[in-house]
Structure 1
């Protein structure tokens, strides 16, 4: 597991560019012709720019997302549902994805569709949060709610384990599936700044709010802040937030 630490920068959506750069490096290491590539969950051309920066932009890169709001009006863009891919079998040499798959309702089904749209010998390469992502926030929220109401709501989105992700890839029919993990430790001045960043990154699904759950009010936030500081606070006065990023790759059998 590779680790890196950084202080949350002014730009709130710092995570996707960082992961796009790391995924582009992995893509560049694969010595195989990739003339036609599909990206699932494109966000403002971030991955395209990362590939272009290292000179590995494929001749055809089709960027897609569930909404047109995140698609740059450059190149080939498609609005589609990642769980209902409208492509014929063997349409692409590679399928790439950054920070999109963890939001799907049917991840196993989506993986099967991704494999089917790959040409023989093609590959799927993706980055998504998993492992112990935001375990500090999960623990602090649980402690705060246990103290105030005697129960804890599932406010943080569950994360997939690296071994489970590899098993899902194998179940979907990928050959030589592999999954490895990078941990990115980010620091924040307080828990509210972390939650604001998650919302600004369109990752509000990480804070699940069910109808029968009490709202995330001021008192609960203050209690969460206290629990966070007591259990994870750094000597600098800042709070760490861990993002475990799974990088997965699998091949269409040739």
Structure 2
């Protein structure tokens, strides 16, 4: 049985990230780091052996001193049962096998260890995708892959269960960023290492006419009152735990000791057949 074609051109992705480090714009990674710290501050537990999967360890190292920082390779450099916390930080959208990434994180956890995933959700860059798609169709008569696919929150939450993690929780935080133009947004994406690294992408530079038309369409459709354009980034947070016998479990249906009507102080009227 043949393997599916890869989603990501890993050498191209690594080149994009290396180029971004020359003049980085990593504010989204910093926002994800801050969000992770806020979430962990609400957990009534001290983590003593964390690991962070990240393409930009320089963002995470100051906030998690002593954490093991590893790249988001297809095979993660994690040891089984070695950690009580694993954070997967803004790299899941480039994974050919996102479930496999989370399975590796779960295996690296001790029983009742926590997996915290920060990922881009499906609302990310909806404006840019629409403008680029329409511009390319108008100028070239065709359409090519330009933005990495990003899962909807429901689908991303389902990955936790497929990976064997318990007590899964998923929620999202929309981030609205403004730019002078779509070209300024594209420049920032380059400085994030988030330019096109899809394996199915066109292997030649985008035509100038496509980019200029996309910028024009973007300004026409998504301009703010101050004349700048908006760009949406959806930051999804996934939380799951390595299974352990001490964790809470849902009660068996019909096992309740008290009636809901009694707790609410209301009358209970049976439904007619």
Provide TM-score, normalisation by structure 2. Answer: 0.75
The equivalent residue for 1:40 is 53
CA gap of 1:178–1:109, structure 2 versus 1, over 3 A, is same
Q: CA RMSD in A?
A: 2.1
Paired residues of 1:136 and 1:242 also in contact (CA < 8 A): yes
The equivalent residue for 2:140 is 149
Query: How many pairs were matched up?
Result: 222
Q: 2: CA distance between counterparts of 1:158 and 1:164?
A: 12
The equivalent residue for 1:161 is 152
Q: 2: CA distance between counterparts of 1:13 and 1:138?
A: 21
The equivalent residue for 1:91 is 82
Structure showing the higher strand proportion among its residues: 1
The equivalent residue for 2:71 is 65
The equivalent residue for 2:240 is 250
Paired residues of 2:122 and 2:149 also in contact (CA < 8 A): no
Q: 1: CA distance between counterparts of 2:149 and 2:76?
A: 25
Q: Which runs of 5+ in 1 are unaligned?
A: 1-9, 52-56, 67-80
Q: 2: CA distance between counterparts of 1:234 and 1:139?
A: 17
Q: 2: CA distance between counterparts of 1:98 and 1:114?
A: 12
After superposing the two structures, state which structure 1 stretch, 41-50 or 170-179, moved more: 41-50
Paired residues of 1:21 and 1:47 also in contact (CA < 8 A): no
Provide TM-score, normalisation by structure 1. Answer: 0.81
Question: Highest CA radius of gyration, 1 or 2?
Answer: 2
Q: 2: CA distance between counterparts of 1:163 and 1:85?
A: 25
